[in-house]
Amino acid sequence: MKLIIAIVQREDASRLQHAFIRENIRATKLATTGGFLSQGNTTFIVGIDNEHVQEVLRLIKTESKSREEYMNPNMVMTGFDISSQPIKITVGGATCFVLPVEEFKQF
């Protein structure tokens, strides 16, 4: 068994959630915040049998789009909005980690 941790943009989250339900894939949805942009994103955790890992990753890839965001570099460095040129950043589609699961129990 594996644990997939998938960080997606919130615009894609509900579509991906519905795709998981449609494909009978069990998932937990967490409201999270990106450490760099401080914008809300969504993290799904999915416990899945080894043979279905690629299917889940394919689904995440299909439902996640990359987007361009603009941010003020000074806001990240100082926390204050000192006027400067915004820089363009490409976010996503999805950032995924696949971890081994030592034990899975439901009581």
Report the alpha-carbon distance of residue 9 to residue 2 in Å, rounded. 22
96 binds ligand 2BA (CB under 6 A): no
User: From the list 1, 3, 19, 34, which residue makes contact with ligand 2BA (rule: CB under 6 A)?
Assistant: 34
Which of 14, 31, 36, 86 forms a contact with ligand 2BA (CB under 6 A)? Answer: 36
The answer to whether the beta carbons of residues 25 and 81 sit under 8 Å apart is: no
CB atoms within 10 A of CB 64: 22
Stretch near ligand 2BA under the rule CB under 6 A, chosen from 19-27, 29-37, 46-54, 78-86: 29-37
| The token pair that represents 66 in the structure block | 């990359």
The footprint of ligand 2BA (CB under 6 A) covers: 7, 34-37, 39, 41, 89-92, 95
